[in-house]
DNA sequence: GATGTCCATAGATAAATCGTATGGCTGAGA
DNA sequence: TCTCAGCCATACGATTTATCTATGGACATC
């Protein structure tokens, strides 16, 4: 014989209201229902909980001792269930997302701001890590979503959304390249280029684009940070190639960033999750939000 | 739609064992039962809790977040229910009892010691107060049992047990009264008597006994404490009249205590409870214990 | 491609729950 | 003392819920 939550709620109601009839009203059930519930509870506990008289209902001492425990248990449970309700209706939750540092700095902040306008109960846990770490965090369920570039073609990874982050050429105003109306890989190769370090995903993309165009431009300098590359460009050392999403470009008002007429100069942006894993409602909502959102510097690949 | 404790237990079992089949074994139910329980729970919460694959069952993130709450709630409840079980089987509990100070010092300590030999889980809350306070504490449910003398004939008071505490005469060895084989009220009245204070229940009994015998013995001294009366007797000031239950008599090895051949020299001892109130199992057991127990200085009035 | 493992589904049966109608007890008031 | 009102307990039929057995379907392994 086991006890039920309904029995516990019935017990608390009768104890607090001191009457089966009033408790029945309160719980929207008939009075005999409560009689049976309490009797079953007493049978299960093998304890008399109430002393009944036609005139009054009184807790026995063991009933009185038991009341606070049951009450606390029910309150705890109800507060958990209320939280659950908010989670299930996507009113509350933590969106755990791993992203490449460039996306974490450019794409995510505005998206999160917009999303939180409509979902004030959303909080975010953003991990800005390199591409392989994004995959690792997604695989180990430490994050719900991953925002990354590179290869994501794995059997345990599902792509929710794909876009392109265009790689642009950045040069000082008045630079000779500015006179071309269309800028191609060949044109770029004619100028000294400040290139990103070989381990960065940007460099992987540009190297690949030049290889496809059968060109081998020589880097005049290599930098790890985009900010450093821009400093070089400002100083007139050369031009550079940076993703459109890079916020750093805006920090240098004397520089111009322009589109390159070559589809290879773009890196893919993937929103991924672990395959066969259900997203929390709020994370799902954020994923949908990202998919719907038109980000100026991203090209949608639908 | 409401959730049930069984659903919660099913959820925890499946989550911890990572398998519907193993959880079903563990809970001694069939596997489809668990499938249905979990589905119902998910419907009630409007949340997917598990990602099912034919090869593995994994908690979703919301499921993972929910698990500790449910687990804690169930553990709390189980520990309460375990306590309840011990209480219901009279293995555990607090016996709350109000008693006249004389009974609290004489009758109760040995009874409690014997009772605790058989019921090691019993603890006691003893209030030693005057008779009217005993009634008050019983009426207000602050104690389960009352041990008192005097009048207990009230409609809201139930007598569980009645005995008599014999009033004995106490005198120094070799005192002239010692030569009588039977001691009557008349014999007592021939000697100077150290009497208890008029407000004590002992004095009420002896006054009444002498009045019934149409005697008016004059007190040579009045004392409030039994110990003081005994000191007077030891010093040869007179004889005194004390209840057989008085432990103080044993402290004076040069004194003798003897029965008085007059049924009026005894005070009633009542074990009472509030009428229409169920006793906790352990308090009930103690009341039964008191009723069964043969106390040397108490005469049972069955 | 066959097989085994595991979860989901379907249908039948047993159990529990609930509401209506009714009975029984107690205390207040005539 | 009697009657009545108020309140809880009981009985019974209807509905819902829980459970089991049998079986289907998906995926991984060999």
B97-107 pLDDT per residue, tens? 999 888 898 88
The answer to whether the Cβ–Cβ distance between B85 and A46 falls below 8 Å is yes
The nearest CA of chain A is from the CA of B295 a distance in Å of 29
The answer to whether the Cβ–Cβ distance between A80 and B60 falls below 8 Å is no
Q: Round and report the angstrom distance from CA (B300) to C1' (C10).
A: 71
Question: Quick one: what percent of chain A has pLDDT higher than 70?
Answer: 97
Q: Is the pLDDT of residue A46 over 70?
A: yes
Mean pLDDT score of chain A: 91
Mean pLDDT within A204-221: 92
Q: Is the pLDDT of residue B1 over 70?
A: no
Q: Are strands A157-172 and A239-243 parallel, antiparallel or unpaired?
A: antiparallel
Q: Is the CB of B39 under 7 A from strand C?
A: yes
Minimum Cα–Cα distance from A82: chain B residue:
B45
Q: Closest to B47 (Cβ–Cβ): which among A46, A87, A144?
A: A87
Distance (Å, whole) CA A71 – CA A86: 23
Query: Which H or E run contains A204?
Result: helix A201-212
Per-residue pLDDT tens over the stretch A215-236: 989 899 999 989 999 999 999 9
The answer to whether the Cβ–Cβ distance between A73 and B76 falls below 8 Å is yes
Per-residue pLDDT tens over the stretch A126-162: 999 988 899 999 999 999 999 998 888 888 899 998 8
B208-to-A178, B147, B151, B200 alpha-carbon distances in Å = 126, 22, 14, 13
The answer to whether the Cβ–Cβ distance between A81 and B45 falls below 8 Å is yes
Q: Is the pLDDT of residue A98 over 70?
A: yes
State residue B202 phi and psi, 5-degree precision: -65, -45
Per-residue pLDDT tens over the stretch B42-55: 999 999 999 988 77
Q: Closest to A47 (Cβ–Cβ): which among B3, B4, B87?
A: B87
Residues around strand D, C-beta < 7 Å: A 19-21, 31-32, 35-36, 38-39, 52, 54-55, 57; B 4, 6, 28-33, 36-37, 40, 53-55
The nearest CA of chain A is from the CA of B143 a distance in Å of 9
Helix axis angle, B61-88 to B281-292, nearest 10° = 10
Distance (Å, whole) CA B302 – CA B299: 9
Give the confidence band of B210 by pLDDT, cuts at 50, 70, 90.
Answer: very high
For chain A, the residues whose C-beta falls within 8 A of a C-beta of chain B are: 2-6, 45-48, 51, 53, 58, 60-62, 65-66, 69-70, 72-73, 76-77, 80-81, 84-85, 87-89, 96, 141, 144, 276-281, 283
- The alpha carbon torsion through A8, A11, A13, A15 (nearest 10 deg) reads -140
Q: Round and report the angstrom distance from CA (A32) to C1' (D9).
A: 8
Q: Which of B62, B96, B140 would you mutate first to test chain A, the one with the most A CBs within 10 A? A: B62
The answer to whether the Cβ–Cβ distance between A80 and B66 falls below 8 Å is yes
The nearest CA of chain B is from the CA of A68 a distance in Å of 11
Q: Is the pLDDT of residue B250 over 90?
A: no
DSSP of chain B, one letter per residue?
A: ----HHHHHHHHHHHHHT-HHHHHHHHTS-HHHHHHHHHHHHHHHTS--EEE-SS-EEE-HHHHHHHHHHHHHHHHHHHHHHHHHHHHTTSSEEEEEEE-HHHHHTHHHHHHHHHHHH-TTEEEEEEE--HHHHHHHHHTTS-SEEEE-S----TTEEEEEEEEEEEEEEEETT-GGGG-SS--HHHHHTS-EEEE-TTSHHHHHHHHHHHHTT--PPEEEEESSHHHHHHHHHTTS-EEEEETT-GGGGG-TTEEEE--S-TTSEEEEEEEEETT-PPPHHHHHHHHHHHH---TTEEE--
Q: Is the CB of A292 under 7 A from strand C?
A: no
Structural domains in chain A plus CATH codes: 5-86 (1.10.10.10), 93-163+267-300 (3.40.190.10), 165-266 (3.40.190.10)
Strand D nucleotides within 7 Å of a protein CB: 5-11, 18-22, 25-28
Q: Is the pLDDT of residue B80 over 80?
A: yes
Chain B residue numbers with beta carbons less than 8 Å from the beta carbon of A278 are 48, 51, 60-61
The answer to whether the Cβ–Cβ distance between A2 and B5 falls below 8 Å is yes
The answer to whether the Cβ–Cβ distance between B2 and A6 falls below 8 Å is yes
Compute the count of residue pairs across chains A and B with CB atoms less than 8 Å apart. Answer: 98
State both tokens at B163.
Answer: 């005995």
């Amino acid at each position: 014989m086991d006890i039920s939550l309904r029995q516990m709620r019935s017990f608390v109601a009768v104890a607090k209201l001191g009457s089966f009839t009033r408790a029945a009203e309160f719980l929207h059930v008939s009075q005999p229902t409560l009689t049976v519930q309490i009797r079953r509870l007493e049978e299960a506990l093998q304890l008399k909980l109430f002393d009944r008289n036609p005139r009054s209902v009184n807790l026995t001492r063991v009933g009185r001792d038991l009341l606070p425990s049951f009450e606390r248990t029910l309150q705890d449970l109800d507060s958990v269930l209320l939280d659950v309700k908010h989670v299930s209706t996507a009113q509350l939750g933590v969106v755990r997302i791993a992203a490449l540092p460039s996306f974490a700095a450019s794409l995510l902040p505005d998206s999160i701001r917009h999303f939180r306008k409509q979902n004030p109960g959303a909080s975010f846990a953003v991990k800005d890590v390199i591409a392989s770490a994004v995959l690792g965090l997604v695989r180990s369920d430490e994050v719900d979503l991953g925002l990354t570039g590179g290869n994501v073609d794995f059997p345990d990874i599902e792509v929710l959304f794909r876009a392109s982050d265009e790689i642009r050429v950045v040069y000082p105003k008045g630079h000779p390249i500015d006179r071309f109306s269309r800028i191609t890989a060949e044109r770029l190769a004619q100028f000294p280029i400040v290139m990103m370090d070989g381990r960065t995903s940007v460099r992987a993309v540009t190297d690949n684009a030049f290889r496809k165009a059968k060109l081998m431009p020589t880097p005049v300098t290599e930098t790890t940070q985009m900010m450093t590359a821009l400093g070089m460009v400002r100083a007139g050392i050369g031009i550079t190639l940076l993703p459109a999403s890079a916020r750093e470009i805006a920090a240098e008002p004397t520089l111009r960033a322009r589109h390159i007429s070559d589809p290879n100069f773009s890196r893919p942006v993937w929103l991924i999750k672990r395959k066969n894993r259900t997203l929390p409602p709020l994370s799902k909502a954020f994923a949908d939000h990202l998919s719907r959102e038109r980000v100026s510097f991203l090209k949608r690949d639908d």
